Amino acid sequence: MRLQTSIGAVELDARAADGPLLFVIRGLLPPRDHLSWLREAMPDLDIILVHLPGMHSPTPSVVGARAFADAFEELLARLRSGKRPVVVRVSGGALPAIHMSADALVLIDPFLTPQKNPALHRLLARTNVADKPEVKSYLSKLLGQDYRPLLPRTRMHVVSGGRTDSDNPMFTPSLTTDIDKVAFRKRGAALYTVRDAGHAVTEVAPNSVTKIIRIALERGPDALEGDANPR
């Protein structure tokens, strides 16, 4: 379904439950049903799955991580007033997520330095829509800055796909660079690696994803300050 926000419509799926609230932000150019398997894998949770504004919906009036975060906060206030979420985001969904108020962030193969990320640019170059003028404009606005200085003090669990050598030209390596990992460590994030998954962490290791989400849900909002980095 679509709901209107101050910058335009947002495509989302919402399933109410009595459990903790999970707000899942899909990444750039995903299929419409991306991550829908989470509803079956975690039936006790109150799950809202959203696309970035402009993904499976008209281009928003403002393109930017802060504007997208504000739109998501509007949706949360309307749909789940009074419930603070654990925010899960995949790939480019991390960019608005770092601006949101949350008990914890679970960031799956995120990137913080888009302009210094060759794997990201190779991935976008392989798509059949990235050369369209409206899409290029959208991506340049969203990916045109360094997000490392904007990392919050919120508890963060960062899951990257690990690196692997592959002869498959369609294989996408992890988009979380060493530069990004340094920034996350400085903020006390817990770092996890799924070997040989590349960028496809949610497809290769769904059980690992749900396990880390459970860890984020079980720890209180003030936990994990200066926590060690699991490897």
Beta strands in the chain (DSSP E): 2-5, 8-15, 21-25, 46-50, 86-90, 104-108, 155-160, 190-193
Q: Does residue 194 belong to any structural domain of this protein?
A: yes
- Tell me what pLDDT residue 222 has: 42
pTM: 0.89
Q: Is residue 229 part of a domain?
A: no
Task: Report the pLDDT value the prediction gives residue 169, as an integer from 0 to 100.
Answer: 56
Q: What would the pLDDT profile of 122-159 be if each residue is shown by its tens digit? A: 888 887 666 788 888 999 999 999 999 999 989 999 99
Encoded tokens for 118: 């060759």
Total tally of structural domains belonging to the chain: 1
Residue 59 domain flag:
yes
In a domain, 193, yes or no: yes
What's the pLDDT tens digit per position in 54-83?
A: 999 999 999 999 999 999 999 999 999 888
For residue 83, the enclosing domain spans: 2-218
Assigned domain for 65 exists: yes
Q: Which residues on adjacent β-strands are paired with residue 106? A: 88, 157
Residues of the chain with pLDDT under 50: 221-231
